[in-house]
Structure 1
Amino acid sequence: MLITQSAGKFLKRNNTLHLGEKELDLSIPVVAGIVNITPDSFYDGGKMEDESVMLKAVEQMIAEGAGIIDIGAVSTRPGSKPVSTKEELTRLLPAVKALRTAFPEIVISVDTFRSWVAVRVIDEIGPIIINDISGGTLDSKMFETVGKLQMPYILSHIKGTPQNMQDNPEYEDLIKEVSQYFAERVKKLNKLGVKEVILDPGFGFGKTVDHNFELLNRLDSLKVFQLPVMVGLSRKSMIWKALDVTPETALNGTSVANTLALMGGADILRVHDVKEAVEAVKIFCEIKATII
């Protein structure tokens, strides 16, 4: 594919993310623990709305080896209802302030597609990673804002919106179209001075189960961009539908999928279950160490 042959010209591979005085080394894959401050997320909706419960859960994630805590206040599961910016901030700001106070050294990523939310969070707690599931498609000011903020930015692939993305998504050539999407947006970000971009292929965001497995099988196609890759497979429908189980019983399948993602080049695993993901990383690193 011509587009992927030239994509690596945009940004040079960098294994270190910079967040003010903090640095995050990605030379060994990192696990991001998911914290949803939402009543309606597909797996853990409502569990983390109580601050003390959230902080206890985060404490455990850090003890188990999480290098990032990814926190969001809006559910983006298929068919989820829109939430206003005011409501998102009402949920999010107290949570991120409590998180930063309790764990001042942990790297925080904020799951939001709104540039203003990112600005407000950074004003309150300092540098963060901005995790935008929309890839800038839901807020026309996001790329410009990230360029001004100079924060690491997770650029996700999505087709449609959370409300309609699973309404019969179709592709003529999935890998080519995802690559084209990233190439165009990385180029725009580069022109705006965004220096640290992480790619997220967006499993479940405008993709069928078959699309998701094709993407997982071809994850190494993203290496041409010379950018870190984050993968979010944790307990998603591609896993529990394939196994004919439920999200609650999809941990083993998640671990298998995460291991395959690591073998395909994933640098960050975004997960609900940190311990198991960290173990997958350790096994992967043992295998990698034997390769001469």
Structure 2
Amino acid sequence: MKLYKLSSQMDAKALLQTVGVTHEGSALLIPKTHLNLIYIKDLKTPAANILKQDALSIGADLAVPKDTITCKVPLVDAVLIANDKQLKELAHKEKIQPFGLKEVAQKLSEFTFTCKDDFSVMGIINTNEDSFFQGSRFKDEAALKHVEHMIEEGATMIDLGGVSSRPGSIGVSEQEELSRVKPIIDLIFKHKLFEKAQFSLDSYSPLCLEYALTHGFSIVNDITALANDDVARVTAKYDATVILMHMQGDPKSMQHEPVYDNVMLEVDAFFEERIAKALHFGIKKIVLDVGIGFGKNLEHNLQLLKHHEHFLHFGYPLLIGASRKSMIDKIISTPIDERLPGTLALHLKAYEHGASIIRAHDVKAHVQALSVLQALNQTTI
């Protein structure tokens, strides 16, 4: 007899099929293979005691401060440790409990999701001269050739921008922005490239977005997350997909000492509000972007990437966009044109934690890296 330890990243379904487990047996076992660690903030102390006992009764556990049982303080933070099966059972149990546990039950039920392993690479192209990465700037026919090249390399989405949103940047008028992006939009439309990939406009200008959406574009990449009602109306009018990105402040000042009490909870609350607004305006297709580098310091960015899977509870695809950003330089001093390795490390981690759309300058490298990682994750014994 011989034993060896398997990676927790393995495809549980494929693994069980390899050893000959029946379909019915797999359905029972798969929810037991994924461990969840869920941080619960400001839980009422009586609720914590009830939740701990209920968790223990089904084989899960709740880590709490040592004085929780005496109820010396009204609120405590806790960490729930449970697999998917236990999470579902616990959510059912807490539906009838007092002290705010009904709300906990609702939240727990949202976390019973499965990460998908498919991915889309969104290539980046900019028309403005002040975009932070020079390698993404193109005009006229050169822009068309670059778009075609990215599609050939495996990009299934292309994101076009005409105004820089790098830290310290200043916006321009809608007319100026349209004058920058219109020639490329017209070329994409003329050559029907929208039949080969989805096109996104990185803009919060209703004027520019309406022009793009009537010329083959189908995605609104709004760094202000529908702050402007007119953007919401245009998006709904053309049944476009909206990318809702979190940003603290604005590009001009966002990196001036950003502060959060809890970045995960504050980004989560922001998404909840903006998703509700999108739905109110009749927008059906939504993508979420935590906004790496948009009003966040290095620690905020690292937390959002490490716990990226959390935001899947909303039920929408997640986009990650950390391509060549300054957080890499803050970890290890590196000029912009040498940040591809760091970019790949960040994006592969985000992919493993739920991101399915990867916004990147370097399409070919990302398609290759993600394809290899996908193959590794799908490999059985």
Q: TM-score range by the shorter chain?
A: 0.7 to 0.9
Identify the range of structure 1 (219-228 vs 240-249) with the bigger mean alpha-carbon deviation.
240-249
Match of 1:256 among 335, 345, 357: 345
Distance in 2, Cα, partners of 1:4 & 1:287: 35
Could you tell me the TM-score, scaled by structure 2's length?
0.68
What per-residue deviation string (whole Å, max 9, x for no partner) do you get for residues 221-267 of structure 1?
11101100111010000112212111111011111111101001111
The answer to whether the 8 Å contact 1:4/1:224 transfers is no
Match of 1:75 among 158, 164, 183: 164
The answer to whether the 8 Å contact 2:221/2:244 transfers is yes
In the other structure, the counterpart of 1:111 is 202
Match of 1:34 among 124, 130, 134: 124
Task: Name the CA shift for 1:45/1:289 in 2 (closer, same or farther; >3 Å).
Answer: closer
The answer to whether the 8 Å contact 1:3/1:179 transfers is no
Distance in 1, Cα, partners of 2:167 & 2:108: 30
In the other structure, the counterpart of 2:37 is none
Letter in 2 for 1:285: Q
Distance in 1, Cα, partners of 2:365 & 2:136: 23
In the other structure, the counterpart of 1:128 is 218
Task: Name the CA shift for 1:190/1:140 in 2 (closer, same or farther; >3 Å).
Answer: closer
Distance in 2, Cα, partners of 1:5 & 1:118: 37
The answer to whether the 8 Å contact 2:125/2:137 transfers is no
Work out which structure has the larger RCO, using CA pairs closer than 8 Å and 6 or more positions apart in sequence: 1
- 1:222 pairs with 2:311: yes
In the other structure, the counterpart of 2:252 is 163
Task: Name the CA shift for 1:45/1:3 in 2 (closer, same or farther; >3 Å).
Answer: farther
What is the SS of the residue equivalent to 2:355?
coil
Distance in 2, Cα, partners of 1:225 & 1:131: 18
Task: Name the CA shift for 1:4/1:67 in 2 (closer, same or farther; >3 Å).
Answer: farther
Letter in 1 for 2:257: N
Task: Name the CA shift for 1:129/1:245 in 2 (closer, same or farther; >3 Å).
Answer: same
The answer to whether the 8 Å contact 1:31/1:270 transfers is yes
Runs of 4+ in 1 over 3 A off after TM superposition: 1-9
The answer to whether the 8 Å contact 1:73/1:88 transfers is yes
Task: Name the CA shift for 1:4/1:92 in 2 (closer, same or farther; >3 Å).
Answer: farther
Match of 1:43 among 129, 133, 151: 133
Gaps of 5+ in 1: 16-25
- 1:239 pairs with 2:291: no
Once the 2 structures are TM-superposed, how far is the Cα of residue 290 of structure 1 from its aligned partner?
3.0
Once the 2 structures are TM-superposed, how far is the Cα of residue 3 of structure 1 from its aligned partner?
9.1
Aligned length: 275
Match of 1:54 among 136, 143, 168: 143
Map 1:204-219; keep pairs closer than 5 Å: 204-219=293-308
The answer to whether the 8 Å contact 1:234/1:272 transfers is yes
Letter in 2 for 1:36: N
Task: Name the CA shift for 1:233/1:3 in 2 (closer, same or farther; >3 Å).
Answer: farther
The answer to whether the 8 Å contact 1:96/1:121 transfers is yes
Task: Name the CA shift for 1:45/1:65 in 2 (closer, same or farther; >3 Å).
Answer: closer
Gaps of 5+ in 2: 1-39, 41-102
What is the SS of the residue equivalent to 2:330?
helix
Letter in 2 for 1:112: S
Distance in 2, Cα, partners of 1:116 & 1:97: 15
What is the SS of the residue equivalent to 1:175?
helix
In the other structure, the counterpart of 1:90 is 179
**Structure 1 vs Structure 2 CA RMSD:** 2.3
Letter in 2 for 1:37: T
Q: Find the structure with the greater CA-based Rg.
A: 2
The answer to whether the 8 Å contact 1:80/1:162 transfers is yes
Identify the range of structure 1 (210-219 vs 281-290) with the bigger mean alpha-carbon deviation.
281-290
Of all paired residues, the percent bearing the same amino acid is 35
Once the 2 structures are TM-superposed, how far is the Cα of residue 55 of structure 1 from its aligned partner?
1.8
Distance in 1, Cα, partners of 2:285 & 2:144: 29
Distance in 2, Cα, partners of 1:176 & 1:189: 20
What is the SS of the residue equivalent to 2:347?
helix
Task: Name the CA shift for 1:3/1:135 in 2 (closer, same or farther; >3 Å).
Answer: farther
